[in-house]
Amino acid sequence: MAQGGTPVAFALAGMVALLTCYAYVKLSCKFPEAGGTAVFLDQAFGANLFTGALNLTLWLSYLVTIALYASAFASYGATFFKTPPGWLHHALISAGILLPTAINLINASVVSKSESYVVIGKLILLALVIAGGIFHVDPQRLQPSEWAGWGQLVVGGMVIFVAYEGFELIANAAGDVRDPQRNLPRAFYGCVIFVIILYILVAVVTVGGVAEEVILREKDYALAAAARPSLGQVGFVMVAVSALLATFSAINATVYGNARLGYGLAKDGQLPAKLDETRAGNPIDGVIVTAALSLVIANTVDLNAIAILSSAGFLLIFAMVCAAAWKLAPQIGARRGIAGVGFLACAGALVALLRDTAHRDPKALLIFAGFLLAAFLFEWIYPRLSGRPRQNPRRRAAANLQE
């Protein structure tokens, strides 16, 4: 979508993430509790239908993110077959979700222990690709004359905004951080700035080193194609293998995290009581429900629509977190101007993404609208049918910390 301006698109998305990061820093330092985003929204807007639906939207957005990772897992897995049969893509998608689910069900502790090693491996490989590929970059491919229009640069950046959403999870661990006033800002700003630089470098190497027709032809595994000019077929295979490991570990971690987010929402009365049950500290039912719904999404919605759905969901949530920081600014020591700009950036980016989606892929827009409608209807109907009143997530988070 952005063509030669792809590095600019990543930078624009990164600036929106950085503005949102400011809100998360201020809110996390004031409320360093396990509830994370749910606590922030509750503090600003109260425990009601609106905040409940937003929290459920966050849970649904992570389901879509798992589907996105699984689609990427299948795309890279298919590169190891000369003529992959039609059914293989869905088989690989399903395997990419079911295997991590089995790990979560059998031994969830393996998830956290393995993540650091996989991340280190991914970064080493990306460093090799960048170092080798930077010498094959054709500056002409990155000239402003090769960029799409500014509108497409913004929309392109917002389609991949989901690539930045991971910093939101830091808020969930804020209660366990030593010296949060010092370490939380370092964690938030450090990771976002590092990832912005990394994505821009990867975009420069990919778009600057590979012809546009090759990117279009091999769009589902473009990073592996970018390794080929400098590292040959060995580089292509190395990236493909690493992408399989990276997406597999991402699914592993997101199933782990979203099952626990669902557990928290169930404790608050926002999801069925069955999801707040654990066995040996593991929310088994939450893991199974997360995997089952992700399987359905990944096997029925195309990759571009999945990316749009996930990015739109996080832009909506992040806009409201910035609004929460604006409302609570005197209490949390935030500057209303920065929080307000963050809200406008997220809201404006969301509108730009949805407007373009309405023209480019109306079906994806309808699915996103259906997600939001389902979240609000569920939050309105479920308490009435179940008789479970919605609880205040901050009180629950505080009680858990005291325990």
Q: What is the pLDDT of residues 60-115, one digit of tens each?
A: 998 999 999 999 999 999 999 888 888 999 999 999 999 999 988 887 677 667 77
Q: Count of domains in the chain?
A: 1
Task: Please state the three-class secondary structure of the chain as a single string.
Answer: CCECCHHHHHHHHHHHHHHHHHHHHHHHHHCCCCCCHHHHHHHHHCCCHHHHHHHHHHHHHHHHHHHHHHHHHHHHHHCCCCCCCCCHHHHHHHHHHHHHHHHHHHCCHHHHHHHHHHHHHHHHHHHHHHHHHHHHCCHHHHCHHHECCHHHHHHHHHHCHHHHHHHHHHHHHHHHCCCHHHHHHHHHHHHHHHHHHHHHHHHHHHHHHCCHHHHHHCHHHHHHHHHHHHHHHHHHHHHHHHHHHHHHHHHHHHHHHHHHHHHHHHHCCCCCHHHHCCECCECHHHHHHHHHHHHHHHHHCCHHHHHHHHHHHHHHHHHHHHHHHHHCHHHHCCCHHHHHHHHHHHHHHHHHHHHHHHHHCHHHHHHHHHHHHHHHHHHHHHHHHHCCCCCCHHHHHHHHHHC
* pLDDT tens-digit series, residues 311-321: 999 999 999 99
Q: Is pLDDT above 90 for 243? A: no
Q: For residues 287-316, b (16+ Cβ closer than 10 Å) or e, as one string?
A: bbbbbebbbebbbebebbbbbbbbbbbbbb
Rounded to a whole number of angstroms, the CA Rg of the chain reads: 21
* Distances, alpha carbon 251 to alpha carbons 99, 244, 256, 317, in Å: 10, 11, 8, 21
Q: Is pLDDT above 60 for 400? A: no
Q: Is pLDDT above 70 for 283? A: yes
Average pLDDT score, the chain: 87
**CA atoms of 35 and 324, how far apart (whole Å):** 15
Q: Is pLDDT above 60 for 337? A: yes
What is residue 329's predicted lDDT score, i.e. its pLDDT?
96
Short-list 104, 42, 54, CA closest to 257 = 104
| The token pair that represents 220 in the structure block | 């589902």
Is 146 a domain residue?
Answer: yes
Is 401 a domain residue?
Answer: no
Q: What's the CATH code of the domain at 248?
A: 1.20.1740.10
Q: What are the contacts of 348-352 at 24+ separation with CB within 8 A? A: 349/13, 349/16, 349/154, 349/157, 349/158, 349/161, 349/315, 350/158, 350/312, 350/315, 350/316, 350/319, 352/151, 352/154, 352/155, 352/158
Cβ–Cβ under 8 Å, residues 94 and 299: yes
pTM of the predicted protein model? 0.86
Q: Is pLDDT above 60 for 256? A: yes
Q: What are phi and psi of 211, to 5 degrees?
A: -60, 145
Give the residue-averaged pLDDT of 166-180.
84
What is residue 153's predicted lDDT score, i.e. its pLDDT?
92
Residue type, 271: L
CB atoms within 10 A of CB 148: 18
What is residue 402's predicted lDDT score, i.e. its pLDDT?
47
What is residue 32's predicted lDDT score, i.e. its pLDDT?
86
Residue type, 175: G
Is 402 a domain residue?
Answer: no
Q: What are phi and psi of 301, to 5 degrees?
A: -115, 135
What is residue 401's predicted lDDT score, i.e. its pLDDT?
43
Q: Is pLDDT above 80 for 18? A: yes
Give the residue-averaged pLDDT of 203-212.
89
Is 52 a domain residue?
Answer: yes
Task: Give the confidence band of 275 by pLDDT, cuts at 50, 70, 90.
Answer: confident
Q: What range defines the domain where residue 350 resides?
A: 6-396
* pLDDT tens-digit series, residues 347-357: 999 999 999 88
Cβ–Cβ under 8 Å, residues 230 and 133: yes
